[in-house]
Amino acid sequence: MYWLAKTAAILAGSLLVAVGVNLFLVPHQLMDGGMIGIGLLATYYLKLPAGLVMILVSIPVYLVVFFRDRRLFYHSFHGMLISSFFIDILSVMREWNHWTTATSAVTGGVLIGTGIGLMLAYETNTGGTDLLAQFLARRSRIPVALLIFFIDGLIVVSSLQAIGAERTLFSFLTISAVAAATHLLCGIGRTGPPYTVVGPLRNSSLKAGRVVFRKGGTAKRQAAVPITSRNREQGKGCGKMWRK
């Protein structure tokens, strides 16, 4: 059942990303961050397919993740391929935009963020910097949406000379919408955790921590609950520090 839901999330997420890019961003030459942004720059100035460029520039990141986190690599690779494919085949939508730049910036960002959030919820992504953000979030307390926003901002700032100040400003509106939608959507594939670690973890093989159980709106403290490596693995999605 999980793989069926994951497949649906990848297809729906990739479609939303492709619509957001082609219908709303490209007609106004707006930028997104990450590998999508690099692909858009290649489209604007070199007339290259954005999806193909995304695949090519994602390869170095995938090589690093392949050697450092094999599970994340296998879960993410197909998300990058499918989203890149949809971005290129739906390029015909670029002629359909009749909205203002501001409307397109926000709407495109919400669609892209929703698509990315859906894929992150099922441990896949569009590749490149989204993969890097997910990789870092699994090893830190930083939410993946915040990492994506930071990386996207760096890429948008670096494109200032290429797209001009006005488009850069609207592009920041886009990546803000992307980050907000990603943060809201990236946890929908998981049920609420039965408890949260609130104390220090001890022991290398079997770590225990003080926890707070939450049931029916009440909290109950218990001395220690063992946390295995398998449970730690289940708590890594979306950059959250839950332990199940």
What is the chain written as a DSSP string?
-HHHHHHHHHHHHHHHHHHIIIIIIGGGT---SHHHHHHHHHHHHH---HHHHHHHHHHHHHHHHHHH-HHHHHHHHHHHHHHHHHHHHTGGGGG---S-HHHHHHHHHHHHHHHHHHHHHTT--SSTHHHHHHHHHTTSSS-HHHHHHHHHHHHHHHTHHHH-HHHHHHHHHHHHHHHHHHHHHTTTTSPPPSEEE-S--B-SSSEEEEEEEEETTEEEEEEEEEE-HHHHHHT-GGG-----
Question: Tens digits of per-residue pLDDT, 168-189?
Answer: 999 999 999 998 998 888 777 5
pLDDT of residue 14: 95
Does 54 have pLDDT greater than 70? yes
pLDDT of residue 231: 47
The pLDDT confidence band at residue 238, using thresholds 50, 70 and 90, is low
pTM of this prediction? 0.73
Question: Tens digits of per-residue pLDDT, 79-123?
Answer: 889 999 999 999 999 999 999 999 999 999 999 999 999 998 888
Task: Work out the average pLDDT over 179-202.
Answer: 64
Task: Work out the average pLDDT over 151-170.
Answer: 90
> What percent of the chain has a predicted confidence (pLDDT) above 70?
77
Most confident of 34-43, 170-179, 189-198, 201-210: 170-179
